[in-house]
Amino acid sequence: MNRESLQGHQEWVLATAVGLVMTGASLVAPILPLYALEFGVSYTAAGALITGFALARLSFDMIGGVAGDRFGARRVTMSGALLIAVAGVTAALAPSYWVLLLSRFIEGVGSALFTTAAFQFLVQITERSRLGRATALFQTGMLVGFAIGPFAGGYLAQLGDFRTPFWAYAAFGVLVAVISRLLITDVPSSGRTIGEVFRAAGSLLRKREIRVLALVAFALFVMRSGARITLFPLYGNKVIGLDPASIGTILSVSAVANLFVVNFVGRMVDRVGRKPVAVWGLVASAFATAAYGAFGTFTSLMIVSAVFGVASGVASIPPPTMVGDLAPEGLEGSAVGLYKMAGDLGFVVGPLMVGAIADAGAFTTGFVVSGAILLVAAGAMLTIGETGRKLGKASS
């Protein structure tokens, strides 16, 4: 197998592995709060299961990147997948709410280690001339997993009980660990000590481009977790009067639109450059996000959601690709970890920010503020240079 064929093979292996992990994570999404309520806890305690997972990811993104640089990406992907399996079993056997909460923290750690090291490996094996397309394929795996998981998880819970999806999630974790061991090519580690890697990783923050991309990651995740996942369902139900099925349908439209454009965007990123695609995607996402609060019918919100899905798909591919371009050899994991940590900070902050705005009754303002943060990120993107080589015509 020549280098190009091996590279393409590894890209598909990674996309499959990350798709399985995201399918597993999405399996438990529809039943997690209901499972928590079986232990007799409050709605706030049920919500803490989401927060615990997010805080674990935020805490271990950078650690996962440093570990990948020190010990090699394959070892860390295996470790992350096995932790996910342990978390699934722990949740399935949980005798109390507190054990369930612990399982969510373990899952967050495993998720941080796996996803950081998996993208680190992608950056290490992929030629920069096709990194946009490789990133798009990687995100396609994630999107397919997010789409399949909730449906499958609901049916598994109906066929068994609320613990059944967690057993399936654990099985997926074991399967991905096996895939990581057998099908992912080992890339030698940097050879640095942990201390040396941490010191070198700290130097990444002195790069303006890395700081700007961290801001972009923060803005994108505020948009996703805040405006789309948290604020829109509240706005749709409390202000417009939509039922849960209608809200779910509108959100699904954006997910499908996103899925359909990401691979085209990957080609564009390799063909015309990372920066122009990123700027236009961020600007379009800003206006699409703000537009949610300007419309009040099911049909109009379906259209807005489709536009949002396309715009966010355009915005989502260039930033991680640019991180890959900028990552020094031997510090790919640390660069990815910094980017992911900024994104997960947005994931935590977004719902709290828009929730506070919604408590004040200013739903439309929440969408506008989320859009404004994206515009700030787009403006910051204009201050840095192009990181990729324009190809004119991307090879297939």
Residue 325, domain member (yes or no)? yes
Same domain, 165 and 226: no
Residue 334, domain member (yes or no)? yes
Same domain, 166 and 235: no
Angle, nearest 10°, between helix axes 97-125 and 318-326? 60
pLDDT at site 389: 66
Domain count, the chain: 2
Q: What is the CATH number of the domain that holds 52?
A: 1.20.1250.20
Integer CA distances (angstroms), 144 to 15, 137, 365, in order? 10, 11, 32
pLDDT at site 186: 79
Nearest to 159 by CA among 21, 41, 31: 31
Mean pLDDT of 180-191: 82
Same domain, 143 and 221: no
Residue 296 backbone phi and psi in degrees, to 5: -135, 20
Same domain, 214 and 80: no
pLDDT at residue 343 tops 90: yes
Q: What percent of the chain shows pLDDT beyond 90? A: 61
C-alpha–C-alpha distance, residues 351 and 306, integer Å = 22
Same domain, 164 and 246: no
Residue 305, domain member (yes or no)? yes
pLDDT at residue 6 tops 70: no
- The two structure tokens encoding residue 331: 């510090």
Mean pLDDT of 114-136: 94
C-alpha–C-alpha distance, residues 314 and 308, integer Å = 10
H-type alpha helices, the chain: 3-27, 32-37, 43-71, 73-92, 97-125, 131-159, 164-183, 194-204, 208-221, 232-234, 244-272, 274-291, 298-316, 318-326, 332-359, 363-381
Same domain, 178 and 212: no
Same domain, 169 and 238: no
H-type alpha helices, 292-362: 298-316, 318-326, 332-359
For residue 307, what are the domain limits? Answer: 203-381
Residue 278, domain member (yes or no)? yes
Q: Check: pTM over 0.75? Answer yes or no.
A: yes
User: What is the tens place of the pLDDT at every residue in 318-333?
Assistant: 999 999 999 998 899 9
- The two structure tokens encoding residue 153: 């998880």
Residue 226, domain member (yes or no)? yes
Domain end call among 185, 215, 234 = 185
Domain end call among 185, 216, 251 = 185
Residue type, 102: L
- The two structure tokens encoding residue 255: 């997910």
Integer CA distances (angstroms), 336 to 64, 132, 270, 273, 332, in order? 9, 15, 19, 20, 6
Residue 192, domain member (yes or no)? no
Handedness of CA 184, 190, 196, 199 (dihedral sign): negative
pLDDT at site 200: 79
Residue 190, domain member (yes or no)? no
Mean pLDDT of 287-311: 94
User: What is the tens place of the pLDDT at every residue in 366-375?
Assistant: 999 999 999 9
Same domain, 106 and 253: no
Same domain, 175 and 214: no
Same domain, 92 and 225: no
Same domain, 163 and 265: no
pLDDT at site 5: 53
pLDDT at residue 189 tops 80: no
Domain end call among 185, 212, 229 = 185
User: 216 near 379, Cβ under 8 Å?
Assistant: no
Residue 283, domain member (yes or no)? yes
User: 50 near 40, Cβ under 8 Å?
Assistant: no
Same domain, 45 and 118: yes
